[in-house]
């Protein structure tokens, strides 16, 4: 009976989603050439246009590269800003504004030799003093920037000459180079002049800021003075937030958008075989999970958290919500992330979930609410969770919000008064390391707004192991420590561990060079219309 009931529910859910998807597919433009965008401008379907439009599923939250926490904002910032280091499309570290670097044997001193003849968009020279000005901004407690904690081990910054920066740490920090790749350089003149870098950008990147109309578009234009010869190859990039899946795919079909991300998983098969559209898929470091507020009843009870994990069929989640394009999450990080250690357990078992709820004092379940953004796929995910938890007696209210509103709700609260119960969300370590997939999410020093430990998870062993892993200069030792961390987090279940995304993008066939990296960030450096 249990199997039958569950199957029927899933069929009904699939039917509902099919109806919704069909209805959505009719929105956003029809099939004629010359689609009209939200700004009333007409963009013909042509490969001769050097103004590329990229439709994404959510708004940018900030342009401040030192305070961005969401992947889209990081993507936007990286079009205009660069760091001493950066990442290639395999998320491997590569020098960018540093020509090269060396690290002392004790792991305490990092010496960067800077690239010469690089200018910020306002004409200011990029040099050692510019780097120091940026590090000073990040380290200043008064600025309260998200990035400060990643640089908390910096004890001294010296500029022995115009093209050399020497950074000394108070203790080894194995992820430090990765963090320098996240510290994008802002023009020191812009900082001194009081430019509002949350809404404007003055970097050294291939594109310059033109305008940001929050909720509608971010436009960047070609930097004619860019230091890399032959780049950029297009005149402008316009990012358009389009949360609704059907509208995004319609924009791709008509050519109103040249590139869309994410490509709605349920509509991949619809465009495969269309010679005008190319769909790319890569494995990612993006994990899907539900934060459980461990400081709030009933989620402060381990049995409740484990029950919720057993109550959700992750295979069905991948099939229904991700259209089969993904995999089950078997740790707190993706298998593509450094020092991954696979865990077992939490296979679908609603009877075990009910038993654990009864042991915790909730034999009839309880009422709950789940938060998430308002894009189509997030809504689908939350509705799936709602349906699954209803089968074990947990009545879930779905509350969707626009990204900035949701961020304010979460980051303006203290641990004691936080209203968050469950948050359906994803995370990807844009710094490309295990530290980026762990510290900010599970260290008790990183409760919002200082970090993204939105489960308010605190385990003294995990706190210490995170510090030990960061201080280790031995990769084998670090791997062992991260294995212990992942095992403990899995057992403590501050999350519902759901899935790992495949990164799926759609583009017009004439567009080349736009890449989405495994962390979900969009790279447009080599964008080209052929």
Helix (H, G, I), strand (E, B) or coil at 484: helix
Using CA atoms, how far apart are residues 287 and 268, in angstroms rounded to an integer? 20
Using CA atoms, how far apart are residues 165 and 235, in angstroms rounded to an integer? 34
Using CA atoms, how far apart are residues 477 and 9, in angstroms rounded to an integer? 47
Tokens at residue 352, please?
A: 């075990």
Of residues 505 and 13, more confidence is placed in 505
pLDDT for 428-466, tens place per residue? 888 878 999 999 999 999 999 878 999 999 999 999 999
pLDDT at 431: 83
| Residue 507 burial class via C-beta count within 10 angstroms: exposed 0-12, middle 13-18, buried 19 and up | buried
Using CA atoms, how far apart are residues 307 and 286, in angstroms rounded to an integer? 24
Cross-strand bridge partners of residue 158: 166
The class that CATH gives domain 287-501 is alpha beta
Angle at 185 between CA 181 and CA 209, to 5 degrees: 115
Mean pLDDT of 10-27: 34
Tokens at residue 214, please?
A: 């929050």
Mean pLDDT of 488-506: 97
Mean pLDDT of 37-42: 41
Of all residues in the chain, the percent with pLDDT exceeding 90 is: 78
pLDDT for 271-285, tens place per residue? 888 999 999 999 999
pLDDT for 113-151, tens place per residue? 999 999 999 999 999 999 999 999 999 999 999 899 889
pLDDT for 350-391, tens place per residue? 999 999 999 999 999 999 999 999 988 899 999 999 999 999
The CA–CA distances, whole Å, from 338 to 59, 181, 429 equal: 29, 16, 10
Neighbour count for residue 273 (Cβ, 10 Å): 8
In our burial notation (b when 16+ CB lie closer than 10 A, e otherwise), range 151-175 reads bebbeebebeeebebebebeebbbb
- Smallest CA-to-CA distance from 30 within 50, 51, 45, 14 is with 45
Using CA atoms, how far apart are residues 28 and 95, in angstroms rounded to an integer? 41
pLDDT at 476: 93
pLDDT at 403: 84
The CA–CA distances, whole Å, from 45 to 51, 230, 362 equal: 12, 26, 58
pLDDT at 42: 45
Tokens at residue 328, please?
A: 């089950």
pLDDT at 24: 30
Helix (H, G, I), strand (E, B) or coil at 487: helix
- Per-residue pLDDT band for 413 (boundaries 50, 70, 90) equals confident
Q: How many residues does the chain have?
A: 530
Tokens at residue 189, please?
A: 């003149």
- Pick from 22-26, 42-46, 80-84, 335-339 the range whose average pLDDT is largest: 80-84
Neighbour count for residue 492 (Cβ, 10 Å): 19
pLDDT at 47: 53
pLDDT at 101: 97
- The domain at 207-283+505-529 falls in which architecture? 3-Layer(aba) Sandwich (3.40)
Enter the DSSP assignment of 89: T
- Let me know: does 248 contact 26? Beta carbons within 8 Å: no
pLDDT at 123: 98
Is it the case that residue 188 has pLDDT exceeding 50? Answer: yes
- Per-residue pLDDT band for 69 (boundaries 50, 70, 90) equals confident
The structural domains of the chain, with segments of one domain joined by +, span 57-70+81-193, 207-283+505-529, 287-501
Helix (H, G, I), strand (E, B) or coil at 102: strand
- Smallest CA-to-CA distance from 501 within 264, 257, 241, 247 is with 264
Of residues 156 and 174, more confidence is placed in 156
- Smallest CA-to-CA distance from 372 within 385, 357, 355 is with 385
The class that CATH gives domain 57-70+81-193 is alpha beta
Please report which helix (H) or strand (E) contains residue 98, including its range.
Answer: strand 98-103
pLDDT at 402: 87
- Smallest CA-to-CA distance from 63 within 204, 193, 218 is with 218
Enter the DSSP assignment of 126: P
Is it the case that residue 3 has pLDDT exceeding 80? Answer: no
- Per-residue pLDDT band for 48 (boundaries 50, 70, 90) equals low
Neighbour count for residue 347 (Cβ, 10 Å): 12
The CA–CA distances, whole Å, from 110 to 164, 198, 469 equal: 11, 29, 19
pLDDT for 216-271, tens place per residue? 999 999 999 999 999 999 999 999 999 998 999 999 999 999 999 999 888 888 88
- Per-residue pLDDT band for 46 (boundaries 50, 70, 90) equals low
Please report which helix (H) or strand (E) contains residue 170, including its range.
Answer: none
- Let me know: does 494 contact 295? Beta carbons within 8 Å: no
Determine how β-strand 85-87 pairs with β-strand 51-56: unpaired
pLDDT at 43: 53
């Amino acid at each position: 009976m249990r199997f039958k009931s569950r199957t029927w529910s899933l069929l009904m859910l699939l039917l509902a989603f099919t109806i919704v998807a069909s209805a959505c597919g009719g929105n956003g433009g029809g099939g004629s050439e010359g689609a009209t965008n939200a700004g009333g401008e007409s963009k013909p379907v042509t490969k001769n246009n050097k103004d590329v439009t990229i439709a994404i599923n959510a708004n940018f939250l900030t342009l401040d590269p030192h305070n961005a926490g969401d992947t889209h904002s990081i993507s936007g910032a990286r079009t205009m800003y660069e760091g001493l280091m950066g990442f290639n499309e395999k998320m491997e570290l590569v020098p960018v504004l540093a020509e090269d670097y060396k690290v002392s044997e004790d792991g305490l001193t990092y010496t960067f030799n800077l690239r010469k003849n690089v200018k910020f968009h306002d004409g200011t020279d990029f040099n050692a003093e510019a780097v120091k000005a940026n590090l000073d901004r990040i380290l200043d407690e008064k600025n309260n920037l998200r990035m400060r904690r990643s640089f908390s081990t910096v004890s001294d910054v010296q500029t022995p000459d115009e093209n050399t920066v020497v950074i000394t740490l108070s203790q080894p920090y194995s992820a430090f180079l990765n963090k320098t790749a996240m510290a994008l350089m802002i023009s020191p003149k812009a900082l001194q002049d009081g430019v509002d870098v949350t809404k404007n950008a003055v970097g050294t990147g291939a594109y310059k800021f033109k305008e940001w109309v929050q909720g509608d578009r971010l436009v960047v234009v070609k930097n004619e003075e860019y230091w890399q010869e032959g780049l950029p190859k297009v005149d402008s990039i316009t990012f358009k937030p389009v949360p609704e899946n059907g509208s995004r795919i319609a924009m791709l079909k008509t050519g109103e958008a040249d590139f869309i991300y994410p490509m709605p998983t349920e509509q991949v098969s619809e465009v495969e075989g269309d010679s005008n559209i190319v769909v790319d898929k890569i494995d990612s470091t993006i994990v899907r999970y539900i934060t459980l507020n461990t400081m709030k009843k009933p989620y402060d009870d381990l049995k409740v958290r484990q029950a919720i994990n057993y109550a959700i069929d992750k295979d069905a989640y991948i099939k229904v919500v991700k259209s089969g394009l993904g995999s089950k999450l078997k740790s707190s990080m993706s298998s593509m992330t450094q020092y991954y250690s696979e865990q077992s357990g939490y296979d679908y078992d609603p009877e075990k979930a009910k038993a654990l709820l009864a042991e915790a004092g909730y034999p009839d379940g309880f009422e709950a609410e789940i938060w998430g953004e308002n894009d189509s796929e997030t809504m689908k995910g939350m509705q799936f969770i709602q349906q699954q938890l209803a089968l074990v007696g947990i009545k879930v209210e779905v509350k969707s919000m626009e990204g900035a509103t949701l961020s304010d709700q979460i980051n303006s609260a203290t641990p004691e008064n936080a209203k968050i119960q469950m948050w359906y969300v994803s995370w990807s370590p844009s710094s490309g390391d295990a530290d980026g997939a762990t510290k900010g999410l599970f260290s008790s020093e990183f409760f919002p707004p200082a970090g993204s430990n939105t489960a308010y998870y605190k385990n003294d062993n995990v706190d210490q192991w995170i510090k030990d892993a960061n201080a280790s200069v031995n990769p084998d030792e670090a791997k062992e420590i991260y294995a212990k961390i992942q095992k403990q987090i899995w057992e403590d279940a501050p999350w519902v561990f759901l899935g790992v995304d495949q990164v799926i993008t759609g583009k017009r066939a004439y567009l080349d060079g736009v890449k989405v990296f495994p962390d979900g960030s969009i790279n447009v450096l080599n964008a080209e219309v052929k």
